[in-house]
Amino acid sequence: MGRLDNKIAIITGAAGGQGKVEARLFAQQGARVIATDLNEALLTTAVAEINAELGVDAVIGIKHNIALESDWVDVVAKAHELFGRIDILINNAAIPGKTRDEVWDVDTEETSRILNVNILGSMLGIKAVMPGMKANGRGSIVNISSAAGLVGGISGGSVAYSATKGALRAITKEVALGVARSGVRVNTVYPGLIKTPIMEAFSQEVTDAVLAKIPAGFAADPIEIAYGVLYLASDESRFVTGTDLIIDGGYTAQ
């Protein structure tokens, strides 16, 4: 028996990195997964790879820009057409900021792009799935933040990226309280450094400096974050809402 048997899950940013590992784990645990990403070519390859590995067509790929409300409407309509409902939304897709030494050096265009994808994109996802989840009387939404949303010194000087990750904390709590009686739960996961392509946005110097400060002494494999996301997505966490799950090798305990 899988921990997500009969669940229908949408995972954004699932073409690579953390999202792809979550898509594979969720499918292994019995979920039907709608994996979405802006990068269609990479997504197609990832979906084919996971389905071939598992020997079942458990994952469906849909091209999706999370910053566009019309794309969310299409993804949710497709999920309802195929499966009749959505049980789980993992707001995982995000873009990093540029590494910079002068943290006060705000680039308006870059900042508005990051805010639009990382904050608005996740809010639009919540908006799109919520009516169906409320009508079904159940649902689990997991917002993927970052240790950068809790403490400074980990985002390579990108105030915009950190701001978006901090915002997800507030969004989670506000929405979780607003819908608590409906059976829909909303939680946040805060990963520390994970070995994924997003790390390429940061210089080796920044990565080494963060790595040196991780009490556990290593960067996480994506699966080590995915296990936490799985718990919050599953019914095992039925009494957990509006909370913070930090998975960072002790980084924010300092």
Binding mask 180-199 for ligand NAD (x = CB under 6 A): -----------x-xx-xxxx
> Shortest approach of ligand NAD to residue 32 CB, angstroms?
20
Distance CA 227, CA 231 (A): 6
45 versus 237: smaller Cβ distance to ligand NAD: 45
176 versus 246: smaller Cβ distance to ligand NAD: 246
Contact 27, 208 (CB under 8 A): no
Q: Is 161 a catalytic residue?
A: yes
> Shortest approach of ligand NAD to residue 137 CB, angstroms?
28
Distance CA 7, CA 11 (A): 12
Q: Is 23 in the site for ligand NAD (CB under 6 A)?
A: no
Select from 17, 97, 139, 242 the one that contacts ligand NAD (CB under 6 A). 17
Give the binding range for ligand NAD (CB under 6 A) out of 3-11, 37-45, 80-88, 175-183: 37-45
Structure tokens at 169: 């904390």
Give the binding range for ligand NAD (CB under 6 A) out of 17-25, 54-62, 129-137, 238-246: 17-25
Positions in 146-175 near ligand NAD (CB under 6 A): 146
Distance CA 157, CA 100 (A): 5
Give the binding range for ligand NAD (CB under 6 A) out of 2-10, 62-70, 75-83, 172-180: 62-70
103 versus 199: smaller Cβ distance to ligand NAD: 199
Distance CA 179, CA 191 (A): 25
Select from 93, 119, 150, 176 the one that contacts ligand NAD (CB under 6 A). 93
117 versus 126: smaller Cβ distance to ligand NAD: 117
Positions in 212-251 near ligand NAD (CB under 6 A): none
Q: Is 15 in the site for ligand NAD (CB under 6 A)?
A: yes
- Residues involved in catalysis: 161
Binding site for ligand NAD (CB under 6 A): 12-13, 15-19, 37-39, 64-67, 92-95, 117, 121, 144, 146, 191, 193-194, 196-199
